[in-house]
Structure 1
Amino acid sequence: MIDLRVLRENPDLIRRSQELRGESTRLVDDLASADTAHRNALQRYESLRAEQKQFGKKVSAASGDEKQQLLARTRELSGAVKAAENAVTTAAEALRNAQFAIPNLVEEGVRPGGEDDYTVLREVGEIRTPDPCRDHLELGELLGAIDMERGARTSGARFGYLTGVGAQLQLGMLQLAVQYALEHRFTPMIPPVLVRPDAMAGTGFLGAHAEEVYYIERDDLYLVGTSEVPLASYHSGEILDLTEPRRYAAWSTCFRREAGSYGKDTRGIIRVHQFDKVEMFSYCRPEDAAAEHERLLAFEEDMLGKMELPYRVIDTAAGDLGSSAARKYDCEAWLPSQQRYLELTSTSNCTTFQARRLGVRYRDEDGKPRTAATLNGTLATTRWLVALLENHQRPDGSVYVPKALQPFVGREVLEPVG
């Protein structure tokens, strides 16, 4: 949620951010109008309320005709105060809606443009094209690791089973991620995956991403597409000690409708409706957020190094940022079967945008409550299996298991089943 002080002091900063994202600057004017209307409504209410209190004192001291006149005016004021109070409520709701309509301010240095306008920061590892080059689904079927046919039969398109070594690979990868998080002083979490609307809205997932979310109308609950949502809501309405960043790592199942992605990566497990993930989440002071963002990115790269995968890091353009993100870095692994990079991790600096909506604060050096900053990042997820299988495949259809994963999987090589 946009800080209204920024709106009042530097509205052009918000307009510039909207332009970078390719979104309407009219929303800034709408917010400014809503802010003015709310302040005017509040001022009128407070003025009438003060007058009402003043007349109350006069009535108690008056008598006779004067008292009757004062009582009549008091009744008029009572109606006016009630109407003014209702006007404040209406104006506050309009202001909130106008604030929620504007995404986070883009961080300085982020390029304008859309999905294809990213900046490549670095490329790591050697790209190799196996011969023959099987895709992850063919390999998964050879290994008895992935069963999409029975997944579709049971649940429909874009659902699958991870079976045998496929399940072992995922469990091992996620266990390694949790172990890694513990070593770096994250608190492990298993959060709820059904959340109330205020939690989903507070993290910014009911705007442009609303079509991606599964909603259970009967219970007024949402299935989360990432544990970022329950982690952001974990400290809602609280004042935290943020002398140091507070870090969590949550293992959860995630659900996404993948609305509008028909025909895109429909084969195998690249883009499915259900997957598992270990998600990092940090609360920190705003002045520490940029450094914390780099730290989360380093953790992601370290994990990809343990998977022995060639990858690149990109700084995404403003038009490809989620509504809550001020800046986002993606790590993309090389996908031999498609001769392209595939996003495996994402880390976003959401600055104070989510915490302002959710009421998460800390105390500054003077003891004054301030809005915290929040950040998130992927430490491991089901999609990683795609890159693992394809990059570590061998000519006979077997797949090498990265050294870091071997203790969790219990073998060095996955062999095709009979």
Structure 2
Amino acid sequence: MIDLRLLREDPELIRASQRLRGESTELVDSLLRADEERRAATQRFEALRAEQRSIGKQVAKASGDERAALLARTKDLSQEVKAAEAANNEADQALRAAHLAVPNVVQGAPPGGEDDFIVLRTVGDLPEIEKPLDHLEIGEALRAIDTERGAKVSGSRFYFLTGVGALLQLGMLQLAIQQAVEHGFTPTITPTLVRPEAMEGTGYLGAHASEVYHLPADDLYLVGTSEVALAAYHSNEIIDLSNGPARFAGWSSCYRREAGSHGKDVRGILRVHQFDKVEMYSFCKPEDATEEHQRLLAMEEEMLAKVEIPYRVIDVAAGDLGTSAVRKFDCEAWVPSQSRYREVTSTSNTTTFQARRLNVRYRDEDGKPQTAATLNGTLATTRWLIPILENHQLPDGSVRVPKALQPFLGGREILEPSR
């Protein structure tokens, strides 16, 4: 959630951010009203409580008519305090609801919607493939991907990775973990079921609630990214950032309902309900967040170079940012069968938005607790198999294995289709 002090000092800044996102400024006005009403309710409750305590002390010293008057006032005050406390609690709840509804304040992102991104750079040469097969044709020939049996067992948008397909994914994710460890990240295998406060704390129960799987009997949510569990890992804690950011690399299965994507990217494994991912997550001081964002982006580009696929880096427009992000960079890999770039990584700076919701703090130089900043970024995921298979395909249907992945496939340099 945003800093209420910023809202009080510069509400127009928050309204401008909402306009950049293409969202209603009424949410800002509602939050301002809720903040004012909560402060007024708190002041009344505290004033009545103070009067109640003062009269309590006076009664002990009073006598006669004065004592009777004080006792009568005490009786009236008791009801007033009870009503004021209820009003204060109600105002607190209204403020929290209004607070949760306002997205983070955009910082530096270009204006516009999904198609208004800015290309920052393009890396790598596009392969010359006369008639490229798509990843599913290649995967089926290699007996690496089986969507037919995935649908039979679990329904549409499910799949099996078998044989070299499983080895490719495991190798890619292990390569990502190795790189993360080399850069000082703590490798972490995270829970994939989380409590509502973890999901809400990361901003996934607002505009993105329709994407989330919920288990009502247990009131638990299946995560769409290990970001959720990693963000909540230090909830309600004061962490040590005196030696720099605390960095984690979380490996987990991820689940997304893909609500609203009916008929979109239904072929293959581009848009699926379940996949695996290694996600980077950093806790840092707010003043270090911009630099840390560039660090995560560099990590993603390093991994893409290792699997030898051409890509571009885009600065995502404000209207396409998630609730928590103030700025996001995507890496999009070239997909030969589609003659276009498709997203394979995202890294977002969420500043203090998630940490404020989850109460993650650190101590400043004066020892005073301050809200931490958080950032996240994809280091490898199942979707990467698409550009890996397609960009490294050979005319006879075989696939060249990127050198960095060869050790994970028994040293094989070429994957040959089953005859």
TM-score when scaled to structure 1?
A: 0.99
Query: Residue in 1 aligned with 2:389?
Result: 389
The CA deviation at 1:196 is: 0.5
Root-mean-square deviation (CA), in Å?
Answer: 0.7
The CA deviation at 1:68 is: 2.0
In the alignment, does 2:166 pair up with 1:167?
A: yes
Query: Residue in 2 aligned with 1:417?
Result: 418
Query: Residue in 1 aligned with 2:43?
Result: 43
Structure 1, 21-30 or 58-67: larger mean CA deviation: 58-67
Query: Residue in 2 aligned with 1:306?
Result: 306
Q: How does 1:326-365 map to 2 (within 5 A)?
A: 326-365=326-365
Per-residue CA deviation, residues 72-130 of structure 1 (Å, 9 max, x unaligned), is 110110111111111111001111111111100001x2111111000000000001241
What is the one-letter code of the residue matched to 1:118? F
Q: How far apart, CA to CA, are the structure 2 residues paired with 1:120 and 1:76?
A: 67
Structure 1, 289-298 or 75-84: larger mean CA deviation: 75-84
Query: Residue in 2 aligned with 1:267?
Result: 267
Q: How far apart, CA to CA, are the structure 2 residues paired with 1:131 and 1:381?
A: 28
Per-residue CA deviation, residues 200-248 of structure 1 (Å, 9 max, x unaligned), is 0000000111000000000000000000000000000011111200000
Q: How far apart, CA to CA, are the structure 2 residues paired with 1:390 and 1:225?
A: 26
Q: How does 1:223-234 map to 2 (within 5 A)?
A: 223-234=222-233
Query: Residue in 2 aligned with 1:202?
Result: 201
Q: How does 1:26-37 map to 2 (within 5 A)?
A: 26-37=26-37
Structure 1 gap segments, 5+ residues each: none
Structure 1 SS opposite 2:404: coil
Q: How far apart, CA to CA, are the structure 2 residues paired with 1:328 and 1:132?
A: 34
Q: How far apart, CA to CA, are the structure 1 residues paired with 2:158 and 2:128?
A: 28
What is the one-letter code of the residue matched to 2:110? R
Q: How far apart, CA to CA, are the structure 2 residues paired with 1:7 and 1:176?
A: 43
What is the one-letter code of the residue matched to 2:137? E
Structure 2 SS opposite 1:36: helix
What is the one-letter code of the residue matched to 2:216? E
Query: Residue in 1 aligned with 2:142?
Result: 143
Query: Residue in 2 aligned with 1:293?
Result: 293
Q: How does 1:56-75 map to 2 (within 5 A)?
A: 56-75=56-75
What is the one-letter code of the residue matched to 2:198? A
The CA deviation at 1:382 is: 0.1
Structure 2 SS opposite 1:192: coil
Q: How far apart, CA to CA, are the structure 2 residues paired with 1:11 and 1:64?
A: 55
The CA deviation at 1:289 is: 0.1
Q: How far apart, CA to CA, are the structure 2 residues paired with 1:53 and 1:137?
A: 74
TM-score when scaled to structure 2?
A: 0.99
Q: How far apart, CA to CA, are the structure 2 residues paired with 1:196 and 1:4?
A: 26
Q: How far apart, CA to CA, are the structure 2 residues paired with 1:266 and 1:68?
A: 79
Per-residue CA deviation, residues 227-280 of structure 1 (Å, 9 max, x unaligned), is 000000000001111120000001000000000011111100000000000000
What is the one-letter code of the residue matched to 1:417? S
The CA deviation at 1:20 is: 0.4
Structure 1, 279-288 or 120-129: larger mean CA deviation: 120-129
Q: How far apart, CA to CA, are the structure 2 residues paired with 1:72 and 1:414?
A: 90
Query: Residue in 2 aligned with 1:193?
Result: 192
Q: How far apart, CA to CA, are the structure 2 residues paired with 1:313 and 1:132?
A: 26
Report the number of matched residues.
417
The CA deviation at 1:30 is: 0.5
The CA deviation at 1:63 is: 2.0
User: Moved runs in structure 1, 4+ residues, more than 3 A?
Assistant: none
Q: How far apart, CA to CA, are the structure 1 residues paired with 2:174 and 2:249?
A: 12
Structure 2 SS opposite 1:44: helix
**Percent of matched pairs sharing the same residue:** 70
What is the one-letter code of the residue matched to 1:214? Y
Q: How far apart, CA to CA, are the structure 2 residues paired with 1:376 and 1:113?
A: 23
Q: How far apart, CA to CA, are the structure 1 residues paired with 2:159 and 2:297?
A: 30
